[in-house]
């Protein structure tokens, strides 16, 4: 026969379990439990700010690394956009020079280059003796019109500025990223004035 406090007591529902355990602990057990909970609370107070600081430092490191990646990319792009010179007395001369440049840079098959005249640079008239601004595409692939599409061309964009009366032209690769809707491209690096840009 069980006596006094040694009698069997079934486990209560889970919501009453903490009180049940507390009653079953002796004075020393309660003191140990309180001490352990206090130590856990103190550790949480010390660790949480430290983990927040670590998270802040990690975010700062990631932001610095991203800025450095972007700066490296922009340095490479600026070097790629640097103007190249060509002897050119006509638009086909500029197109041939750009085709050679695109083949050399990319190592890929370039079908041809197509150039179109743009508006003259600000403040200038596109007269026979003046400079002519060109928008060009070194064509890598062509798609014929079909029932589903109007056709099109894929390639590498260039900008050029020519003074045919002096047999001179400058051309630059154009780099951009897709703009909203994917219909136009926003320039990452501006086109130098030597190629008809505003710098």
Do 176 and 185 form a contact (C-beta atoms < 8 A)? yes
Mean pLDDT to the nearest integer, 65-80: 87
Dmax over CA atoms of the chain, in Å, equals 121
> Distance of CA 16 to CAs 11, 25, 31, 68, 122, Å?
9, 15, 20, 57, 83
Q: What tens digit of pLDDT does each residue of 122-157 get?
A: 555 444 457 899 999 999 998 888 887 787 889 999
Q: How many other C-beta atoms are found inside a 10 Å radius of the C-beta of residue 100?
A: 15
Q: What tens digit of pLDDT does each residue of 19-46 get?
A: 677 666 777 776 787 778 777 877 777 6
Token readout for 166 is 């002096």
What is the Cβ-side half-sphere exposure of residue 86, based on CA atoms within 13 angstroms? 25
What integer pLDDT is reported at residue 44 of this predicted model?
A: 73
- Compute, in degrees rounded to 10, the torsion defined by CA atoms 74, 76, 77, 80: 160
Note the pTM of the prediction, 2 decimals: 0.59
Name the DSSP letter for residue 4: G
Q: Where are the domains of the chain?
A: 12-81, 84-195
What integer pLDDT is reported at residue 187 of this predicted model?
A: 58
Q: Mean pLDDT in the chain?
A: 79
The share of the chain scoring above pLDDT 90, in percent, equals 32
What integer pLDDT is reported at residue 118 of this predicted model?
A: 82
- Distance between CA 107 and CA 1 in Å, rounded? 96
């Amino acid at each position: 026969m069980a006596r006094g406090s040694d009698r069997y007591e079934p486990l209560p529902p889970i919501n009453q379990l903490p009180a049940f355990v507390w009653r079953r602990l002796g004075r020393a057990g309660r003191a140990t439990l309180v001490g352990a909970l206090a130590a856990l609370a103190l550790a949480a107070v010390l660790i949480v700010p430290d983990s927040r600081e670590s998270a802040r430092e990690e975010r700062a490191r990631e932001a610095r690394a991203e800025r450095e990646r972007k700066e490296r990319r922009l340095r490479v792009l600026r070097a790629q956009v640097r103007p190249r010179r060509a002897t050119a007395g006509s638009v086909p001369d500029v197109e041939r020079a750009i085709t050679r440049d695109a083949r050399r840079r990319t190592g890929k098959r370039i079908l041809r280059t197509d150039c179109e005249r743009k508006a003259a640079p600000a403040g200038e008239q596109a007269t026979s003796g003046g400079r002519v601004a060109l928008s060009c595409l070194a064509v890598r692939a062509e798609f014929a019109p079909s029932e589903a599409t109007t056709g099109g061309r894929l390639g590498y964009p260039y900008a050029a500025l020519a003074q045919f009366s002096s047999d001179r032209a400058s051309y630059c690769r154009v780099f951009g990223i897709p703009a909203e809707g994917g219909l136009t491209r926003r320039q990452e690096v501006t086109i130098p004035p030597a190629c008809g840009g505003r710098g």
